[in-house]
Amino acid sequence: MESAVSPLARPLEAARAFHDPLPTAQRPSLLSTATAIPLACAGFAAAAAVHVVADNPGSGEGGLTPCPIRALTGRWCPGCGLTRATHHLFRGNIAQALSFNLFVPIILAALVTMWIVWLRVATGRGVPAWVMALRVRTYVAAGAVLTIFTIARNFESAGALRGG
């Protein structure tokens, strides 16, 4: 006899199980093998941040790779200028950081948030309720804003959106 659960409901049950917290006794510790990759990525990101702060990527002498999209197409992508903006932001020059890329604080905050959620899931604490409450329209709106920003910064008259 077949199960009464529809085939479409099984992936939803698996997703809920992934997002729900484990009982405290079953949670891996912060220094378990489950957290090795998120912690290694955090270490790599910290090392990259130290390098970006120490080496000015906009000086022309820095060894950082240029944006591959800009190199291939000659167009500005939504991420163009993020390395230089991060350099200036970490050095406390907020106005200069925003001149390179308006979205640098939002993108850095989103990356940190995604890492925290990843670490919470790896340690069995589940995804925070506020993350689960985000709707698809939030992601669509963010994508639309980035698309409009990308199109706008590629007009000849939009030099202020390009940074530098």
Segment 9-53, tens digit of pLDDT: 555 555 555 566 766 666 667 677 888 899 999 999 999 999 888
**Secondary structure of residue 122 in the 3-state scheme:** helix
The mean pLDDT of 123-141, rounded to a whole number, is 86
HEC profile of 42-55: HHHHHHHHHHHHHC
Q: Which of 71, 74, 68, 97 is nearest to 84 (CA)?
A: 97
Distances (CA, A) of 156 to 40, 142, 159: 42, 24, 7
Provide the mean pLDDT of the chain.
81
Enter the tokens of residue 116: 């925290």
Say how many residues make up the chain.
164
**Res 131 pLDDT > 60:** yes
* Cα 73 to Cα 62: distance, rounded to the nearest angstrom: 22
Query: CA 146 to CA 110: how far, in whole Å?
Result: 14
2 or 83, higher pLDDT: 83
DSSP 62: -
